[in-house]
Amino acid sequence: MQVIILMGAPGAGKGTQAARLSAHASLAHISTGDLFRENLKQETALGKKVKGYMESGNLVPDELVLDMLFDRVSRKDCAAGYILDGFPRTVPQAEALGERLGDSVELLALNLEVPDDLIVERASGRLLCRGCSHIHHAKFSPPKAEGVCDNCGGELYQRKDDAADVVGQRLAVYHEQTAPVEKFYGAQGVLKSINGVRSPDEVFTELISHVPAKEKADG
C-alpha cells in the first residue's frame, strides 16, 4: 500500500497537483478539510464529537482526526493507497499517523516548494471579478482597463485573504508548524522536495517521477 503525503504551503498549488496525482497514480485524494466537512454534514458519530469540540471552542484532538481519517481510508477506493492533503501538520500528528500505518505501508512525503515572496506576489496581485468568475492578475494577466474585468466589464476586487500581510502571516504559521514535519520525514528518508516555481505541467512531471503510474483496478 502506498501512502503519499503531499506537503506545501497554502498557495503553493497543492490542490491542483493533488487532483492530477490522484488520477495519475489511481490513488484516492484525501483532504482533511473535506473529511471534516463530510463528517459534520452527514452527522456521523465522529462528526458529532468534532462538533462538540468546535462549539466549545476547543481544538479537535489529533486522535479524533486520525479516527476520521482511518474511517475514510478503510473504504475500498483506498485499498491500494491514498494521497493525504493537509495532514499531518505537526510532528505529534506525523508520529501518531506512523503508528497507525505500521511498517507495511510505503510512505512518501512530497514537498512542493515555492518561495514565500512568490506566493505573496501571486496572491496579492489576484483580482477577482464581481460580475463573473474571471480572475485577473495585476502583473501576470492585467486587465486592459484598470479595475475592470476584460471578460464581462464587471468590477475587480482583491480578497481580504489575498492581502500581502495576511498571506505572509499565514505562511509564517505554516512554516513554524511544518518545518519540523519536513525534518521528521527527511530523517526517515521518505521526503522528496519538488521545485514548485514552474508551470503546473512541469511541476507535475517532477512529482510523478517519484510516483509510478497505475491503472485503476476497477471502475
Binding site residues, Zn ion, CB under 5 A:
129, 131-132, 134, 149, 151-152, 154
C-beta of 144: minimal distance to Zn ion in Å?
12
Nearer to Zn ion, 53 or 140 (CB): 140
Q: Which residues are catalytic?
A: 14, 89, 126, 159, 170
Measured in degrees and rounded to the nearest 5, phi and psi for residue 175 equal -65, -40
Nearer to Zn ion, 33 or 131 (CB): 131
C-beta of 149: minimal distance to Zn ion in Å?
3
C-beta of 127: minimal distance to Zn ion in Å?
10
Nearer to Zn ion, 108 or 129 (CB): 129
Nearer to Zn ion, 2 or 151 (CB): 151
C-beta of 150: minimal distance to Zn ion in Å?
8
- CA 157 vs CA 23, 140, 150, 181: distances in Å: 34, 16, 13, 36
